[in-house]
Structure 1
């Protein structure tokens, strides 16, 4: 009669408890029930008291979000594995507004269906040469895929330099992507040198386009040579330029990085780019170029499968019309300011300060070093910091864990220091 298991709260009682209701706000019932059942089973097994079932269930509730926030202490600004570009405050606010009903494809003047994402297209065109049209798809590879499919997907040829047949990450290669459209690749030149005469000799009756791909994630130095866009635009076929990282206009800090406006002024029929790299926006692919060609892409059946949702369009529009993005801020961070913050953190956690140059990352600006500093700590702290709260990801090098504050918001320095001290206190080196 005194069996303590009789005091274990029933499931319906727990579901009705206001404390569990508050803790599980936003979660579906079928996400809450496993936590309740697990706590009840632990009580039946005598591992916890019946009175502790509610707190045990609350502590076992899953996070409503399926992604985890990370403090990026790697020094890599556009970190592909960490979601690439962090959004600006204006882009985040735009996403929140767009989560409700919007005028995505609605003309408020006529009350009828309107062009999808017209505001974003207008924001893009404001930053591009006159006479340009634009469309947005779901990533940079999709932009090139649609362009090649529409131009040469019926078995026509695209001419591309051997030195530009790049792998873009995770084993994916752009030549494989282009061939998947049904186009035939006509490779010209060599890995290190391609001449205008190579392109001229390759053009024939089945040539649909010349494709120029910026090798954004590597550099070839020494005995090299290539052909600029202006030297290809009079060969009688459209020139498609994949600039990769999404720089819309020249940036003096990145003089070797191609930009969309310059390529279009040089005569490119079409420019493809990413929106989530140097542009600093959400994952998106940009197609910019001659209006008849962009309209042809817009009406291609594949465009429907590659289109972006309202949240992406909202974030991209706010990125284009808002202020400076975190990507721009982080890559231009003052080295002396970084050093002062690093010295404070090192003193708080018992680390040492050492030079650590950051990089742009994400396949942008290869070889460009961003002068900076890092706190050096024992390598054994790397995993506890990654699995702790907050999740802190640093850079392991030479047996040390380096924490670079370049991409850590200054207001998060206190949180970062507390995370390191907690990892040390929990038994870290």
Structure 2
């Protein structure tokens, strides 16, 4: 900089200067101009930042690779002129994730209690604590009293049987589809599974139940029609090649009008096992969902086996539940495929804590008081409007989601914001996922715990005009 300035000053007063035209007689000495390259040289070096005491705890917690990525992102912002060099460290600290995982926790304000894209059921505090405790060595397959091998997950299975008194035994696999695959493989490989045409469902993301079942080596025997299937339709096709009769709860759609569906009790006297896939994981009747099938009722009606998901209405971790006849369930648990489908100790710990612990977030959301939801929405809207934001409290309708209780809506309340907030909230420091309705972004409160109201309000502020440009 000093050399360039000196050369410019040494030029004759009338000499032409590149890009400037002839010098004028009254031009004084050249004034140094800030150089972007010099500013970039002031950006702290990566190794210096990683040794900074304010970043070193993050290296221990997250790993050097994660911290280095945040540092480099902050340095690049400085190179691009977005921040001054002296703010690189502060920006790197702000960019650090909460954990070493790429998964980011979000606030579910969609109004869908069990949102598949958001991981379905959120775990209870008891389940989260159980997972943390089980992360180290545990007695998952060891009897500490005798020092010999014990049944895997025995306390979780006992808790599951306690919640479903009609079940003679229980087994757990890694998801609901796996539970049905294990049953089909063990009971009907090379045989027929008799199923109603109206229950040949697609379970999501393009996966179809018929395609899943035929991979087990079973053949599907469809009976009845899309809208009407009677017990006589099943009875007419049963024979030596029948592995079992399958009843599937059409959990993500409804057929109304001129319909007929055989009940489980009508099929249990036909001489073959009846397997019922209830889907949503409701273990016992629930007053808010009178039409949703539950495991205990189906077993009492005579089902030999019930399969379900654990991460839906049960409110637990992703897993598949098999409940039913003791000899049948034990045979399934000893099938070679069961080893490939087994769950880990973290899932067993979360499942048991879900079954024995306090009400889950799903249960609390399902029974939330609409009056209290409206009061929360009104208070939040009033607070945010005082900050100059375009927000108002509105009535809303929530749904169960996750393939449960199709057609059922739950009265709720929401914050209504301008449409552009939807994207800004999703990409904010605390991601909030709402829904767009009539051009407005709605933040439904039924699935948002009340303790998170302050976080929700701050996320809205940061997404609004006053929050633009925050780190």
The TM-score normalised by the length of structure 1 is 0.93
Give structure 2 stretches of 5+ with no counterpart. Answer: 3-37, 386-390
CA–CA separation in structure 2 for the residues paired with 1:45 and 1:395: 34
Q: Deviations over 1:191-213 (max 9, x none)?
A: 00001111111112111000000
CA distance in 1, matches of 2:44, 2:419: 46
**1:129–1:264 Cα contact (<8 Å) kept:** no
Aligned counterpart, 1:191: 226
* Counterpart in the other structure of 1:225: 260
Please say which of residues 87-96 and 17-26 is displaced more in the overlay: 17-26
Counterparts in 2 of 1:234 and 1:38: CA distance versus 1, 3 Å = closer
Asked whether the equivalents of residues 280 and 403 of structure 2 are also in contact (C-alpha less than 8 Å), the reply is yes
Q: Is the 8 A contact 2:167 2:323 kept in 1?
A: no
Counterpart selection for 2:248 from 213, 227, 230: 213
Equivalence for 2:316: 281
CA-to-aligned-CA distance 1:35-88 (integer Å, 9 cap, x gap): 555666777899877766544554554552321111111111111111111111
Contact 2:176 2:320 in 1 (8 A): yes
Q: Could you tell me which residue of structure 1 aligns to residue 152 of structure 2?
A: 116
> Is residue 173 of structure 1 aligned with residue 208 of structure 2?
yes
Q: Which residue of structure 2 aligns with residue 161 of structure 1?
A: 196
* 8 A Cα contact 1:24 1:61, kept in partner: no
Alignment match of 2:406 (pick from 349, 352, 366): 366
- State the secondary structure of the residue aligned to 2:426: helix
Aligned in 2, Cα 1:4/1:209: closer, same or farther, shift over 3 Å?
A: closer
Per the alignment, in what secondary structure is the counterpart of residue 106 of structure 1? Answer: coil
For residues 11-40 of structure 1, the C-alpha deviation after alignment (integer angstroms, 9 at most, x for no partner) is 554433322212333222333444555666
Paired residues of 1:229 and 1:268 also in contact (CA < 8 A)? yes
Number of residue-to-residue matches in the alignment: 427
Aligned partners of 2:258, 2:450: CA distance in 1, in Å?
Answer: 44
Shift in alpha-carbon separation, 1:120–1:349, aligned structure 2, 3 A = same
- Label 1:39 to 1:424 Cα distance change in 2 as closer, same or farther (>3 A): closer
| Paired position in structure 2 for 1:357 | 397
What is the aligned partner in structure 2 of residue 399 from structure 1? 439
Aligned-pair CA distance for 1:7: 7.3
1:17 aligned to 2:52?
Answer: yes
State the SS of the aligned residue for 1:338: helix
Instruction: Note if 1:85 corresponds to 2:110.
Output: no
State the partner residue of 2:141.
105
Aligned to 1:69: 105
- From 289, 294, 299, the equivalent of 1:264 is 299
Q: Which is bigger in relative contact order (C-alpha 8 A, separation at least 6)?
A: 1
Deviations 1:264-306 (A, max 9, x none): 1111111000111111111110001111111111111111111
After superposition, the Cα gap between the structure-2 partners of 1:354 and 1:112, relative to the gap in structure 1 and judged at 3 Å, is same
Look up the match of 1:133.
Answer: 169
TM-score by length of 2: 0.85
Find the residue that maps to 2:441 and give its secondary structure: strand
- Residue 382 of structure 2, aligned match among 347, 353, 377: 347
Aligned counterpart in structure 1 of residue 275 of structure 2, from 234, 237, 240: 240
Q: Which 10-residue stretch deviates more, 124-133 or 82-91?
A: 124-133
Instruction: State whether residues 354 and 376 of structure 1, in contact with CA within 8 Å, keep that contact through their aligned partners in structure 2.
Output: yes
What is aligned with 1:420? Answer: 460
- 8 Å Cα contact 2:74-2:92 kept in structure 1: yes
User: RMSD across aligned C-alpha pairs, in angstroms?
Assistant: 2.4
